[in-house]
Amino acid sequence: METPVSKPILEACGIARTYPLTAEKVEALRGVDVTLAPGELVALVGASGSGKTTLLNLLGCLDRPTAGTVRIQGTEVQDLSERQLTGFRRRAIGFVFQEAYLIPTLTAVENVGLPLSFDPDRIKPSAPAEALSRVGLGEKTRRYPSELSGGERQRVAIARAIVHQPVLILADEPTGNLDSENGRRIFALFRELVSKGDLSALVATHNQELAALTDRRIYLKDGRIVQKGEG
């Protein structure tokens, strides 16, 4: 277990996920413990197939663990109904994926505003433009995804992940399709976002150099945590 400095935002204990895909069950995760304190930027490091995406899906309430508990801001999420989980994701979690998955027919600011389409009353309408400004794209709000570079598109995706003011950002290989310079910029952006202390981020990567830019690293192999590193 980690020893967080304040009340953790995320606590996952002994989580496992088994898929009955073939005659034999596939154990994607086996008893993983993860804790994130407010303002922490943590790297989830592992090779392809090590279970990073599965772990992020479980922590992000997109999937349910076969065993174990996930507590986010004190709420045990594995017991929530689908509807409650959807509402919880809306409020508490922001996702960034390897690909930006922006809607090509919407402008950058509209893409950022997408989460608010499903929860329009909770956040002020100017939040998308403000989120874009926070990721350094305040001048490109009206651009369409096809008019942005790969790095800029990923910044738009990050703005989309923070627009609803979540407490936790889960990023799955967000720099996987970017060059090293853009990759460093994205990690610097995550660092900046968590620096206020009201947000934590768990970023999956297989790039050791980028992982070294985070507060802590969790190494995953064959569905188990094999190593943890700090600093």
Partner 1 sequence: MREVPGFFRLATSDLKRRPLRTCLALLGIALSTALLLGTLSLHAGYVRALDSTIDRMGYQVLVTAKGCPYEAASLMMRGENVPMYIDEPIFDAILADPDVLEATRIFMQSMKSEQQLGSLVFMGVDDQYLRLKAYISLQRGKWFTGEHAPEAILGYNAANTMGLDLGDKIPVGQSRTPLTIVGVFDRTGTQEDGMIFMPLRFSQELFDKKAKLTAVGVRLKNLELLQGFVRRMFELPQVQPVTMTQFRDTIMEFVGTSRLLLLLSALVAAVIGSLGVLNAMTMSVAERMREFGVMKAVGASARNIFLLTILETGCLGILGGLLGIGITAAAGIGIESLLRTYVPFAPPGRLVFLGPLHIAGCLAASILLAILAGIYPALRAARVRPAQVFREAA
**How far does Cα 172 stand from its chain's mean position?**
6
Give strand ranges (E) for the chain: 10-19, 26-36, 41-45, 67-72, 75-76, 93-96, 168-172, 200-205, 216-221, 224-230
- What single DSSP character describes residue 33? E
Are the beta carbons of 157 and 102 closer than 8 angstroms? Answer: yes
Contact between 104 and partner 1 (CB under 8 A)? yes
Binding positions for partner 1, 144-183, rule CB under 8 A: 160-161, 164, 172-173
Contact between 110 and partner 1 (CB under 8 A)? yes
Could you tell me the CA-to-CA distances from 113 to 28, 98, 123, 157, 209 in Å, in that order?
Answer: 33, 20, 10, 11, 32
Tokens of residue 117, six digits: 């389409």
Contact between 15 and partner 1 (CB under 8 A)? no
The nearer residue to partner 1, 9 or 109, going by C-beta atoms, is: 109
Phi first, then psi: give them for residue 156, nearest 5 degrees: -60, -40
Contact segment (CB under 8 A) with partner 1 among 59-67, 178-186, 209-217, 223-231 equals 59-67
Contact segment (CB under 8 A) with partner 1 among 105-113, 147-155, 195-203, 215-223 equals 105-113
Contact between 133 and partner 1 (CB under 8 A)? no
Contact segment (CB under 8 A) with partner 1 among 54-62, 178-186, 188-196, 217-225 equals 54-62
Tokens of residue 192, six digits: 């900046």
- Given the rule CB under 8 A, which residues bind partner 1? 48, 52-54, 57, 60, 62-63, 82-83, 86-87, 89-90, 94-95, 97-99, 101, 103-107, 109-110, 112-120, 125-129, 141-142, 160-161, 164, 172-173
